């Protein structure tokens, strides 16, 4: 008996021989009773994030610009069993709070705790305007007369104006849907199987749900929906003030609640029918740094064994599916796993298999991906920007070093740097330099696929430098009042305290390692910002910058109106030219006469 893995764990093999039933289970699943098969088993306990991530497709179907994108993801806060569960808003910033740096904190860490604080101690809050969906395929449900979905949930929400996204029906509280889908590809249809009751939504207790699923289902999913305003019973305005967190947009705004967690999800088929051949590609890592990599597949262990599979792929989610062949397999008939796939170029690749049994009977062609992976063989590129007085690598006074990296395929994972050959450090923001003499910075980036850039270096000299606040831009003009001012504290000592004052108001303390401060809704006109830092030796460093929101002020008067209006200026020039030409013509005509 072979053990199936990954996605094919959803198509279970049953071999009915005389009075004996044999069930083949996917790796890591729990044993099911005889005459049943586990189509899905999820406890979010995979050893790595990537192993879990490839199993679910997740997104926020509400593209509201204010609340942003808030997704399901696994976490370690509330759990029913094991160490992890799945939270409705693990990914995303929360639009109803601001932290000490003036930024919206992450939903999963509202108090912006550092990495030394265990995740179990984090404070979590969901956001408004969520329609967060997660789903994954199940294969083989049609081969059972009865299919059952079982899961545990923990819910802490409240009354709101939330509505069912598809029907528009008012639910009246922030809620969880259990979903199933029928069909595949563009013909896939979403169905709401169950909606949490208001009593359950506010229970703040783990509850088990068992539901019957039609055996026509091709996917199972969950959907968390929140209204446009915070729920009743959300955080009081000063509830998190001890952490430097305030509610937003107003000082007296109410906050949010914890939300919904899922754990121990399973889909089991019972009363089996005859099981035909079903094949599928096993889950792949999210990223590949090499163009050549193994693609593993599994089958359902049917009564008529597999003869071969065809592997189909397409790139970037578009175009026709291409049958994969190799010089040694020009017919594309692969009889064993894994298949060594060589990507013709970088990009996102989707895969599915089409199996043929020993009687030359082909399984139904799906034309829908079993899994996907992104191939990225090119390292990112990092650019250094130096802000300070000077040129040609020679500067007078303190300087700021800023690093920016780009990677077009998988994205940048991290930027690393070091000064004067010391230990490598992860770049988090602008670096201030107040060390006179010769300075050297080395730096490189790593993308999400693991490609590392060759180390770059820059050597420069600094003279006459004192401790200072170095702003990335001075006297800047911004189109609207939602801005971020970047700066660096140039000092050779640790910064114990950092604070800012906007337009002469009281100082507000921010994180001591901050390198930017953000503002929203500033009025048009001139503004000033003071940054003040206190160091470990007791010194105080202060710097000021000025900036303008909206259009730059007019030059003033009639002349200012003309200079600020190019169309008017061009018109006046045309009139002047015409007048001069007319005068010249008149004089010339008078002379001839």
- Residue 303 in 3-state DSSP? coil
Q: Which residues contact 136 (CB under 8 A, 6 or more apart)?
A: 40, 55, 56, 57, 219, 220, 221
Write the CB contacts of 365 (distance below 8 Å, at least 6 apart in sequence). Answer: 354
In Å, what is the CA distance from 390 to each residue of 432, 457, 463, 464? 15, 19, 10, 12
- pLDDT value, residue 580: 47
Dump the DSSP string for 569-588: HHHHHHHHHHHHHHHHHHHH
Q: What pLDDT shows up at residue 114? A: 81
pLDDT of residue 562: 53
Residues 6+ apart with CB under 8 A from 8: 26, 139, 278, 279, 280, 282, 297, 298, 299, 300
pLDDT at residue 269, as a whole number: 93
d(CA 477, CA 22): 72
User: For position 201, what pLDDT does the model report?
Assistant: 98
CA-based nearest residue to 41, from 22, 23, 28, 52: 28
Q: What does each C-alpha distance from 96 to 107, 126, 261, 425 come to in angstroms?
A: 10, 9, 20, 32
Question: Does the pTM of the predicted model rise above 0.95?
Answer: no
> What SS3 class is residue 1?
coil
Q: How many CB atoms lie within 10 A of CB 404?
A: 13
Q: Which residue has the tokens 């969950």?
A: 222
Q: d(Cα 254, Cα 403) in Å, to the nearest integer?
A: 38
Long-range contacts of 108-112 (CB under 8 A, 24+ apart): 108/73, 108/75, 108/77, 110/240, 110/245, 111/240, 111/243, 111/245, 112/243, 112/244, 112/245, 112/511
| Beta carbons of 222 and 71 less than 8 angstroms apart | no
Which are the contacts of 422, defined by CB distance < 8 A and separation ≥ 6? none
Mapped onto helix, strand or coil, the DSSP state of residue 354 is strand
R_g over Cα of the chain: 31
Give the separation between CA 535 and CA 588, rounded to whole angstroms.
79
Alpha carbon 181 to its chain's center: 25
Contact 265, 38 (CB under 8 A): no
3-state secondary structure of 273: coil
Q: Quickly tell me which residue has 């000033």 as its tokens.
A: 528
> Cα 504 to chain center, whole Å?
37
**Rounded Cα–Cα distance for residues 199 and 58 (Å):** 27
Q: What is the pLDDT of residue 590?
A: 46
Neighbours of 429 (CB within 10 A): 15
**Per-residue confidence in pLDDT tens, the chain, 593 aa:** 333 334 434 333 333 332 223 333 333 333 333 478 899 999 999 988 888 988 899 999 987 777 788 999 999 999 999 999 999 998 889 999 988 777 889 999 999 888 788 888 999 999 999 999 999 999 889 889 999 999 999 999 999 999 999 999 999 999 999 999 999 888 899 999 999 999 999 999 999 999 999 999 999 999 999 999 999 999 999 899 888 898 988 768 899 999 999 999 999 999 888 778 999 999 999 999 999 999 999 988 787 899 999 999 999 988 999 999 999 999 999 999 999 999 999 999 999 999 999 999 999 998 999 999 999 999 999 999 999 999 889 999 999 999 999 999 999 999 999 999 999 999 989 999 999 999 999 999 999 999 999 999 999 999 999 999 999 999 999 999 999 999 999 999 999 999 999 999 999 998 888 999 999 899 999 999 999 999 999 999 999 999 999 975 554 555 545 555 555 555 555 545 454 455 444 444 444 44
Phi, psi torsion values for 480, nearest 5 degrees: -140, 180
CB 237 within 8 A of CB 97: no
* Alpha carbon distance 223, 77 (integer Å): 20
Burial 191-204 (b: 16+ CB within 10 A, else e): bebebbeeebbbbe
C-beta neighbour count of 425 within 10 angstroms: 13
- Closest alpha carbon to 157 in 231, 245, 214, 253: 231
DSSP strand pairing (339-342 vs 322-323): unpaired
Beta strand 297-299 with 217-225 is: unpaired
Q: Which 3-state string (H, E, C) describes 69-122?
A: CCEEEEECCCCCCCCCEEEEEEECECCCEECCCCCCCECCECCCCCCCCCHHHC
pLDDT of residue 174: 98
Which one-letter DSSP state was computed for residue 49? Answer: H
């Amino acid at each position: 008996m072979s053990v199936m893995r990954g996605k094919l764990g959803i198509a279970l093999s049953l071999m009915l021989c005389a009075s004996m039933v044999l069930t083949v289970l996917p790796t890591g699943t729990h044993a099911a009773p005889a005459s049943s098969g586990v189509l899905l088993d999820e406890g979010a306990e995979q050893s790595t994030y990537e192993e879990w991530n490839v199993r679910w497709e997740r997104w926020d179907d509400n593209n509201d610009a204010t609340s942003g994108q808030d997704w399901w993801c696994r976490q370690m806060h509330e759990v029913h069993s094991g160490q992890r569960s799945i939270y409705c808003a693990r990914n995303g910033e929360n639009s109803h709070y601001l932290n000490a740096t003036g930024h919206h904190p992450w939903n999963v860490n509202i108090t912006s705790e550092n990495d030394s604080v265990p995740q179990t101690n984090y404070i979590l809050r969901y956001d408004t305007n969520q329609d967060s969906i997660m789903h994954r395929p199940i294969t083989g449900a049609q081969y059972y007369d009865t299919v059952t979905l079982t899961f545990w949930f923990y819910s802490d929400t409240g009354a709101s104006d939330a509505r069912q996204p598809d029907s528009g029906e008012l639910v009246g509280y922030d809620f969880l849907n259990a979903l199933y889908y029928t069909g595949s590809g563009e013909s896939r249809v979403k169905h709401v199987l169950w909606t949490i009751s208001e009593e359950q939504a506010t229970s703040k207790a783990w509850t088990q749900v068992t539901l019957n699923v039609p055996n026509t289902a091709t996917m199972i999913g969950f959907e968390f929906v929140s209204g446009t305003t915070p729920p009743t019973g959300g955080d009081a305005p000063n509830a998190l003030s001890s952490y430097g967190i305030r509610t937003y947009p107003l000082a007296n705004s109410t906050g949010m609640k914890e939300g919904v967690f899922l754990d121990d999800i399973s889909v089991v088929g019972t009363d089996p029918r005859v099981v035909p051949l079903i094949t599928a590609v096993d889950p792949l890592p999210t990223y590949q740094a090499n163009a050549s990599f193994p693609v593993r597949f599994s089958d359902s262990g049917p009564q008529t064994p597999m003869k071969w599979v065809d592997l189909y792929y397409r790139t970037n989610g578009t175009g026709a599916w291409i049958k994969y062949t190799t010089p040694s397999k020009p017919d594309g008939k692969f009889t064993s796993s894994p298949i060594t796939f060589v990507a013709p170029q970088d990009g996102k690749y989707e895969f599915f298999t089409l199996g043929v049994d020993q009687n030359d009977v082909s399984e139904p062609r799906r034309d829908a991906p079993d899994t996907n992976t992104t191939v990225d063989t090119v390292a990112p590129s990092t650019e250094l920007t130096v802000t300070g007085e000077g040129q040609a690598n020679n500067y007078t006074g303190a300087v700021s070093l800023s690093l920016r990296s780009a990677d077009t395929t998988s994205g940048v994972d991290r930027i690393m740097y070091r000064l004067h050959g010391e230990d490598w450090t992860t770049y988090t923001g602008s670096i201030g330099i107040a060390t006179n003499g010769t300075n050297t910075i080395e730096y490189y980036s790593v993308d999400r696929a693991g490609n590392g850039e060759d180390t770059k270096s820059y050597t420069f000299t600094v003279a006459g430098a004192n401790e200072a606040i170095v702003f990335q831009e001075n006297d800047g003009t911004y189109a609207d009042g939602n801005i971020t001012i970047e700066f660096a504290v140039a000092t050779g000592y640790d910064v114990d305290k950092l604070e800012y004052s906007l337009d002469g108001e009281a100082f507000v303390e921010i994180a001591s390692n901050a390198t930017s401060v953000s503002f929203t809704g500033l009025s048009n006109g001139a503004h000033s910002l003071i940054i003040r830092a206190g160091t470990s030796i007791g010194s105080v460093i202060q710097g000021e910058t000025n900036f303008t929101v909206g259009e730059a002020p007019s030059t003033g008067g009639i002349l200012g109106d003309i200079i600020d209006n190019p169309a008017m200026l061009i018109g006046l020039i045309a009139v002047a030219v015409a007048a001069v030409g007319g005068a010249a013509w008149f004089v010339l005509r008078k002379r001839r006469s």
